[in-house]
Amino acid sequence: MLPERIKVGAFFLETLTTGMYEDPFHCLREYVQNSFDAISDAVNSKVLGEGEGKITISVTGSDNRQTLAIRDNGTGIRTADAVDRLVSLGSSTKKPGLHAGFRGIGRLAGIAYCSTLQFKTKSVGESIATIVNFDCSKLRGFMAPGAEARDIDQVIRQSVSITTVEEREIDHFTEVQMIGLSGLGLEFNASEKLTSYLSQYTPVDYASTFDFANGVRAYRAPTAAMGRRRKRRRRPGRRTDAW
């Protein structure tokens, strides 16, 4: 007979982080995709008007301790759902064809590149924001060669802390902070490389000056409906209406 609980080891987490992304910058793509989806949902639910969505990417801190932050003004996550959604693995409410991301694992990508991975989120109409911190140094220790085998549920419980803070009810957002960039994550501070990467891989809409935009959208619509949505690219330096 099968056991009551199927164990999943901590090394499974390594597969979902460093094992999935050959380029460190791909983890930023995941966070921007999540922001894009949150803004799309906010527009569809009338929380935002067309063109009001905004994603801000910034690098701050000293040379010894840098932080990269990605913040959007999308729907955010309700207090009652925030912790469960942010610590779950491979669980997502997103729908292929409607959202850029849908597997529920991309938010963990930053674990490999900083000392603390922080998520802060708040839904419109609520006065409380939820903050979930992942202790990346501790998580990487659990995944180190020769480390004692531990169930992933234990690993998450020992590496995650949760707090709440008061915020204005009118605000709605999600902010990801990669605090204490380390290793390959230090490359995120190279502004030219960061700008070039984001201009190629982020899911932004076509520029208003692109004459064939409507034709491409019409051609792409049947494919998106079947859940095989293609990623959109634009050239470096080209302006769009989505930012």
pLDDT per position as a tens digit, 167-208:
999 999 999 999 999 988 999 988 889 888 888 877 666 777
Q: Which of 113, 142, 135, 187 lies closest to 12, judged by CA?
A: 142
Is 74 inside any structural domain? yes
Is 58 inside any structural domain? yes
3-state secondary structure the chain: CCCCCCCCECHHHHHHCCCCCCCCCHHHHHHHHHHHHHHHHHHHCCCCCCCCCCEEEEEEECCCCEEEEEEECCCCCCHHHHHHHHHCCCCCCCCECCECCCCCCHHHHHHHHEEEEEEEEECCCCCEEEEEEEEHHHHHHHCCCCCCCCEHHHHHHHHEEEEEEECCCCCCEEEEEEEEECHHHHHHHCHHHHHHHHHHHCCCCCCCCCCCHHHHHHHHHHHHHCCCCCCCCCCCCCCCCCC
Looking at residues 90-112, what average pLDDT do you find?
63
Is 152 inside any structural domain? yes
Say whether pLDDT at 122 is over 50: yes
Looking at residues 128-135, what average pLDDT do you find?
96
| Confidence (pLDDT) at 235 | 42
| Separation in Å, CA 10 to CA 133, 138, 195, 224 | 18, 11, 34, 35
| Confidence (pLDDT) at 172 | 96
Least confident of 32-46, 68-82, 98-112: 98-112
Mean pLDDT of the chain: 80
Is 238 inside any structural domain? no
| Confidence (pLDDT) at 223 | 47
Block residue for tokens 């080209």: 238
Q: Tell me how many domains the chain contains.
A: 1
Is 151 inside any structural domain? yes
Looking at residues 148-174, what average pLDDT do you find?
90
Block residue for tokens 């491409």: 216
Say whether pLDDT at 228 is over 50: no
| Confidence (pLDDT) at 238 | 37
| Confidence (pLDDT) at 42 | 94
- How confident is the model over 1-41, as pLDDT tens digits? 666 665 666 666 666 666 666 788 888 988 998 898 899 89
State the residue range of the domain holding 22.
Answer: 11-189
Looking at residues 204-214, what average pLDDT do you find?
79
CATH code for the domain of 25:
3.30.565.10
Least confident of 89-103, 109-123, 158-172: 89-103
Is 233 inside any structural domain? no
